[in-house]
Amino acid sequence: MADEAAQGGGISIHPMDQFKVEPLFGGDHVGMLTPTNVTLWMALAVLAVTLLLVVGTRGRAIIPSRAQSVAELAYGFVYKMVEDVAGKDAIRFFPYIMTLFMFIVTANFLGLLPMSFATTSHIAVTAVLAMAVFLTVTILGFVLNGTKFLGLFWVSSAPLALRPILAVIELISYFVRPVSHSIRLAGNIMAGHAVIKVFAGFAAIATIAPVSILAITAVYGLEVLVAFIQAYVFTILTCVYLKDALHPSH
Amino acid sequence: MEGDIASMGQFIGAGLAAIGSGAAAIGVGHVAGNFLAGALRNPTAAASQTATLFIGIAFAEALGIFSFLVALLLMFAV
């Protein structure tokens, strides 16, 4: 594809090349356990979160340092979100949701560094996160509520004749959750990065270079916003699904 | 111009799929606009509903992302 574009004389940088998974230590073969650039940047995300939340709060100062206040801010933000959206009894799942949020937001921001790799732009990465949430919520719903969890699909407020039809719709919308949950995050991040690369391709043409550099700056600013909002949306939807599992009454 | 009729179909299909992004933009605009209209009528209740706003935007946007994905698949994966 890149060759075709080069022959066409159009875009010299292929916008999708940045998402290529490559082994870190040479070679072409990507096996199950090959360390790739995805592994590297995910490890860096975990490292950054650890640095912020563990090393940053080590002092436990009454007057917090900068790192400690950021960590406290993040903690309070996610705690309030879980409490508001999923309810007080969902607080015991706070560590899981905090982990999800911190990992996604850090991976998104690390992906925005020039020459870095956006791990969350891969559906393989986000699908694992979304499937974990889906399985957790489904198993939790059945363990906590037994067969009453199926009441989620049986809309008791609707007229009796409509309920079977609604049950089918609810069932479909339930099983499409992990799909939309993962594709929303991956799609947003991938789209933003591809747009930046498309404008970067235009920057090679001298007459429109200033416009395209301005456009890159603007899109980059938007992407910083998107990186945070998509992590927020992913976590808040996890909270919504968790609420369904804890209180399945429709 | 060169190429075959299959790749022409790919490009036309990708372009048609991109219409879905515009439709999603209308949806997101509706959500945000209605939220703003409601928030200006009752500003005290607005802060507690921002989570709902983002959930609404996320659902509206997801379908636009689906169509974008179809376009990408047509362009690069088929």
Looking at the structure of chain B, the number of domains it has is 1
Beta partners for residue A23, in sequence order: A36
pLDDT digit string, tens, across residues A80-93: 999 988 889 899 99
pLDDT digit string, tens, across residues B9-27: 888 999 999 899 899 999 9
Interface size A-B, in CB pairs within 8 Å, comes to 40
The partner residue sitting opposite B51, judged by closest CB among A1, A84, A191, is: A84
Give residue A11's pLDDT.
52
pLDDT digit string, tens, across residues A161-182: 888 999 999 899 899 899 889 9
pLDDT digit string, tens, across residues A212-240: 999 999 999 989 988 999 999 999 999 99
**Residues on chain B touching A121 (C-beta within 8 angstroms):** none
Is A107 within the bounds of a domain? yes
Is A168 within the bounds of a domain? yes
Cβ atoms within 10 Å, residue A191: 19
CB contact under 8 A, A183 and B76: no
Q: Phi and psi dihedrals of A52, rounded to 5?
A: -70, -50
CATH of the domain at B38: 1.20.20.10
pLDDT at A9 over 50: no
- Domain residues for the domain of B17 are 5-77
Is A82 within the bounds of a domain? yes
pLDDT digit string, tens, across residues A38-56: 999 999 999 999 999 999 8
Cβ atoms within 10 Å, residue A37: 15
Is A235 within the bounds of a domain? yes
Q: Which residues of chain B have pLDDT under 70?
A: 1
Q: Phi and psi dihedrals of A158, rounded to 5?
A: -90, 160
What stretches of A100-199 adopt beta strand conformation (E)? Answer: none
B32 CB near a chain A CB, below 8 Å?
no
Give residue B49's pLDDT.
87
The partner residue sitting opposite A180, judged by closest CB among B55, B62, B72, is: B62
By three-state DSSP, how is residue A36 classified?
A: strand
Provide residues of A within 8 Å CB-CB of chain B: 1, 16, 81, 84-85, 180, 183-184, 187-188, 190-191, 229, 232-233, 236-237, 240
Task: Please give the helix or strand (H or E) that residue A119 lies within, else none.
Answer: none
Q: With cut-offs at 50, 70 and 90, classify the pLDDT of residue A1.
A: very low
What does the alpha-carbon distance between residue A192 and residue A197 come to, in Å, rounded to a whole number? Answer: 9
- Domain residues for the domain of A174 are 18-25+34-246
pTM of the model: 0.85
pLDDT digit string, tens, across residues A119-133: 999 999 999 999 999
Is A125 within the bounds of a domain? yes
Q: What is the mean pLDDT of chain A?
A: 87
Is A142 within the bounds of a domain? yes
Beta partners for residue A138, in sequence order: none
Least confident of A158-162, A202-206, A235-239: A202-206
Looking at the structure of chain A, the number of domains it has is 1
Identify whether the C-beta of residue A200 lies closer than 8 Å to the C-beta of residue A10.
no
B53 CB near a chain A CB, below 8 Å?
no
